Structure 1
Amino acid sequence: MKVDPTLNIEEIIATNWVKRYSDIRNHSVAICQPLEIEDYVVQPIIDVSPPKWHLGHTTWFFETFILIPNIPDYKVFDTQYNFVFNSYYETVGARVIRTDRGNLSRPSVADVYRYREYVDERMNDFLQNKLMNESIEALLELGLNHEQQHQELLLTDIKYILGHNPLFPAYKKEITDKDQTVTQPEMIRICEGVYEIGFEGEGFCFDNELGRHKVYLNDFEISNHLVTNGKYLQFMEAEGYSDFRHWHAEGWDWVKQNSANSPLYWHFVDGKWMHYTLNGLKEINLNEPLCHISFFEAAAFATWKEMRLPTEAEWEVASELFDWGKRWEWTNSAYLPYPGFKKEAGAVGEYNGKFMVNQTVLRGASEATPAGHSRNTYRNFFPTHLQWQFTGIRLAK
C-alpha cells in the first residue's frame, strides 16, 4: 500500500488501521457471498453456529468493547443485540444459549448486514479521529484476530451445514483444489535436551501463547508429513473401528455410541469411498492428507501404527523442520496454562483461560485459516470427540 507523503505519523497509523479493519471485515462478507439466504440460519448441531450469527457476533465485539466504552453518547444499533450476539462473556450479561442460535429467524440476514454497516461506519470514523491509545489498540488487535478466528469457523460451519444437506450442494463449484499430495513420509529425529517454547518477539499473539519457558524433551522422532487418506483407509480396512485395543476407554464408548466407522464426511457409495468437500461430493484422493477426525480416532490410528501423537512441545520444537498448515494437528497434550499465565481483568480475561479444562491442543493451521493468522506457537484447542474442524494426524515415536 502506497502512503501519502503529506500525512503525519498519526494519520499514517490511522490509515493503516482503517485499511486492515476494512480488509478483514470484508473477508467475512466474502466468505458468505456464495450462500443462499436459507443457509445463513441453519444450526445442525450445538457445535455449529449459523453463519448469520457469526456475522453478528464479530460485529458485536467491536461495538461492545470499543465503540460503547469510548464514544460518549454512542447509540447502539439495537439494544437486544447484546443478548443475541454475546457468545460466552458472563461479564457482559445474559445471552441466547448456544443451542438456540438456530432458532433466531430474527434478526433477519438483512438486519445483520445493516448492523455490520452501521458499526463499520462508526469504527471507521473512530479510527480516523485520533482517539486511539495503547489499550484501545490492544482491543482492536484482539477484535481483528477474533474475527479471523470466526472466518475459519464460518468455513468449518458452512461445510458442516452443506455437508449434511442430503443433496451435498457445493459451497463453490469454481474452487481450485490445492495440490496437497503427500510424498513418502520420513521421520525427523530430535535429540534430547532443554528447549524453549511459547511466543516471543514483536506482533500479536493470544494470551495462552505467552510465558515462554523451558521444557525438557527426551529423544523422539516425528514425521515430516501428515497421515494420508490412503494410510487411514488401511486402518479402517484392518477393522480398526472394531478393535477396542486401539482406543482409549472414552474413545471406545464414543465409537459404540455413534456407530463410528470413518472420518466425518466420508460415505461409501457404489463400492467406493467418497467424501464431501467444499466443491461437493468427490471420490477420496488416497494421497491427500486425512481430514476431519476426532482426537479419539487420531490416537487410535497412532496406536495401531505402534506410534503416538506428538506433545505440543515436541511439535513446536520440530515445526521448523517440516511443512505445516494443511491441517490442524492433534497433539497428545491437554490444554493447560503455561507457567505464569494470568487471566486479564474483565471480559477479555474470559477469552482463553476459562476453557483450560477438558480440551486437547491442536497445532498448526488449515486450508480454512485466513492468511496471516497462523504461527507455530498458536495453541488451538477442542474437545476430544469433535470431528468438524479441519483436523489431521502427524505421527511421532
Structure 2
Amino acid sequence: MRADKKPNPVIGSGKHATVRLTAVTKKSIQDRERTMDSKHQQLFTRYQHTRKLSRDIVEPLQPEDLVIQSMPDASPIKWHLAHTSWFFETFLLKPFLTGYRPFQSQFEYLFNSYYNHVGPQYLRKNRGLISRPTVTEVQEYRQYVDDNIATLLTRPLSEATLNLLELGINHEQQHQELMLTDIKHAFSFNPLFPALADHQPQPQPIAALNWQEYAGGEQMIGYRGTGFHFDNEGPAHPVLLPPFKLATRLITNGELQDFVDDGGYKNPLLWLSDGWAWLQGNAIAQPLYWQQMEGQWHHYTLSGLRPLLQHEPACHLSYYEADAYAQWCGKRLPTECEWEVAAQQQPLDNSGLHLGRLHPHCGTDPASAQATLQQLYGSCWQWTQSAYSPYPGFKPATGAVGEYNGKFMCNQQVLKGSSCVTPQGHSRASYRNFFPAHAQWQFTGIRMADDV
C-alpha cells in the first residue's frame, strides 16, 4: 500500500461517512453571538470578517479553478479552504467543545499540512489529485466549523484558548495570501491568461532612487506590544548595528529590465554558487511571468497579460535574483535587523490586499519619496540577507502548535514588510516571513542597502 494513501476511503462515496450539516441559519448564529461576553463577541466578529474574506477571494473563481495544483510548493484553493477550517477544528473544537463531532474523520489526514504531532499527512505534492471531497462538501465543512466556533464562544474559555483562536485567524490570513499567489501561478500556465481583477494602471514618473541613512548603534528588534504576534517575532532583544542606509523605494521593472538586457542572467560572477546552479538547472533567463511578445516585454498579472510598466515594482523574484541584482548595482540586500530598525521609525502602513487591484503599488508621489521609505508594506515582500533562525531565548509553544514556525528555522531567508495580497491589518515591523532562496511565486521584490 502506498505511504500516502489511507485504507477504506469513503469521501464522496455513496455511503458518505460524515456528520451531515443541519440547516444553520444566520439568525441562529446571531442568537448565540448575543450570549457571548464582549471580548468573545469582538473576537468572533474578527473571525467572521476573516472567514468572509476567504469567501470573497474565491467568489469569482469556478470549481475547476479550485482544484488545480501547479507545483509542489503551491496548493489547490480547495485545499486552503479546507485546511484553514481543519486548523480551527483540530486546535479548538476537538479539545475544547464538549460533545463536538468531527465533520469527517478522514479530513484530519487529508488537510493536515505538516503537524506531525497530530498525525500523518497526505503528500503535499499530490494535493491536486484530491477530487473528493467536492468543493460543495468543503464549503459545508467550513459552515459546520463556523457554526461550532459560534457555539464554543458562548462558553467560558481560558486566555490560552482565546489566543489559539487569534492564532487561527492570523493563520487563515496567511493562507488568503497563499490562495492568491497559488492561483496566479496556476493561471500563468493558461494561454487564455485569466484575470481576477480589472486593474489597468497607467505609466507614471519614476521616483529617484534615494537613500536614507541610519546611525546604527544598539537597537531593539522583535515584538514589544501587547497584541497578537507569532512566536518567531520574539523575544525582543538588543542588536548592535553599524551605520547603514536603505533605498527609499523598491527596485522597478525598468531597473530590473536593464539588468536583464545587460546579460545579468548570463553572468556567473553576479550569482551565488547555489543561485547559479538553480539558474542553470531550471533554464531561467528572465524573471517569473515575464515573456517577450513582438519585441516588447510583457508579464502575467492577476489582471491578465499586459505590457511591462517601467515604474512598477519588480516582483516575483527569488532571493538568488535579488542578490544578483544588488551585486550588479554594487550594493547589497539589507539585514532583517536593518530593515526592522528603519521601519520602526515610520508609522505603520496597513495597506495591503484590495480585491480590485491584486498588484504591487508604486508608493506615493515621487516628490515625497526623497526623505522617507516608501513601499515598506502593501507592495512586495522584501528579501533580506538574513537566514531565518531563532531569536535569543526563543522557545516554541508546547504541543502541535509548536510546529507552526520553529521547525522551519533552517535553509530559509527572512523577508520583511508585506505584499499587495497580504490582508490588511496583518503587517508590522517585527513580522518575519520566510521562504527558501529559490522561491519566486510570492510577491517578493528588492529593497537595496549599503554601508555608510
Match of 1:230 among 249, 254, 263: 254
Structure 1 position 18, deviation (Å): 1.9
Aligned residue for 2:144?
A: 118
Q: Provide TM-score, normalisation by structure 1.
A: 0.95
Structure 2 gap ranges (5+): 1-32, 347-371
Structure 1 position 120, deviation (Å): 0.5
2:102 and 2:204 mapped to 1: Cα distance?
46
2:250 and 2:204 mapped to 1: Cα distance?
10
3-state DSSP class of the match of 1:330? strand
Q: Provide closer, same or farther for how the CA distance between residues 13 and 349 of structure 1 changes in structure 2, counting only shifts above 3 A.
A: same
3-state DSSP class of the match of 2:150? helix
Structure 1 position 179, deviation (Å): 9.2
Aligned residue for 2:366?
A: none
Structure 1 position 182, deviation (Å): 4.7
2:335 counterpart letter in structure 1: T
Alignment of structure 1 residues 156-305 onto 2, 5 Å: 156-172=181-197, 174-175=198-199, 182-305=206-329
Taking only the aligned residue pairs, the percentage that are identical comes to: 48
Q: Provide TM-score, normalisation by structure 2.
A: 0.84
2:216 and 2:102 mapped to 1: Cα distance?
56
Residue-by-residue CA offset, 1:143-166 (whole Å, 9 max, x unaligned): 000000000001111111111212
Residue-by-residue CA offset, 1:178-200 (whole Å, 9 max, x unaligned): 99975112111111311111110
Aligned residue for 2:386?
A: 333
Alpha carbons 2:220, 2:237 under 8 Å: kept: yes
2:89 and 2:401 mapped to 1: Cα distance?
14
1:170 counterpart letter in structure 2: A
Match of 1:360 among 413, 417, 437: 413
Residue-by-residue CA offset, 1:240-283 (whole Å, 9 max, x unaligned): 01100000001011111111111111111111000011100010
Structure 1 position 8, deviation (Å): 10
3-state DSSP class of the match of 1:164? coil
2:373 counterpart letter in structure 1: F
Alpha carbons 1:275, 1:282 under 8 Å: kept: yes
- More helix per residue: 1
Aligned residue for 1:376?
A: 429
3-state DSSP class of the match of 2:389? coil
Aligned residue for 2:373?
A: 322
1:270 and 1:84 mapped to 2: Cα distance?
46
1:145 and 1:281 mapped to 2: Cα distance?
32
Alpha carbons 2:411, 2:436 under 8 Å: kept: yes
1:36 and 1:8 mapped to 2: Cα distance?
36
3-state DSSP class of the match of 1:76? coil
1:137 and 1:371 mapped to 2: Cα distance?
21
1:57 counterpart letter in structure 2: H
2:439 and 2:209 mapped to 1: Cα distance?
26
Aligned residue for 2:59?
A: 33
2:35 and 2:129 mapped to 1: Cα distance?
48
1:359 and 1:131 mapped to 2: Cα distance?
40
Q: Provide closer, same or farther for how the CA distance between residues 347 and 227 of structure 1 changes in structure 2, counting only shifts above 3 A.
A: same
2:387 counterpart letter in structure 1: A
Aligned residue for 2:28?
A: none
Consecutive aligned runs of 4 or more in structure 1 exceeding 2 Å deviation: 7-11, 174-182
1:136 and 1:387 mapped to 2: Cα distance?
36
Aligned residue for 1:148?
A: 173
Q: Provide closer, same or farther for how the CA distance between residues 120 and 10 of structure 1 changes in structure 2, counting only shifts above 3 A.
A: closer
Aligned length: 389
Backbone CA RMSD of aligned residues: 1.6
Q: Provide closer, same or farther for how the CA distance between residues 93 and 180 of structure 1 changes in structure 2, counting only shifts above 3 A.
A: farther
Aligned residue for 1:135?
A: 160
